[in-house]
Amino acid sequence: MEANIIKVRWYAYAFIAFFGVLCLILTYGALFASRKEKKHISGVPLFGGFFLFIAGLVSPCRWLCLLFLLDYGYWEIAYTLYCDFIKKNKNQNSDKSDK
């Protein structure tokens, strides 16, 4: 009985991960096309990572959740938040030194 449950979880993982990988391919394709054409072409950012994260939660191997990091949208968000934090701290430090 338990072997059937594991089998179903792997099938569910494969089904959900398929959509995640498809979204990642579309996102990276749009990214490369944007750079080639030198104009903005929108992909489906964050959806591929979201589907891969959900698929990892469904699968028997939970570490597969980390595959969501393949989506560059999450790295962009982290980079933007980090840069905004640094700029905010630099502005606060320069305001304190001016007084």
Dihedral in degrees, nearest 10, Cα atoms 83, 85, 89, 92 = 110
Over range 10-35, report the average pLDDT: 91
Q: Where are the domains of the chain?
A: 2-98
Looking at the chain, the whole-number percentage of residues with pLDDT higher than 90 is: 32
Mean pLDDT for all residues in the chain: 86
- Answer with the residue of higher pLDDT: 63 or 90: 63
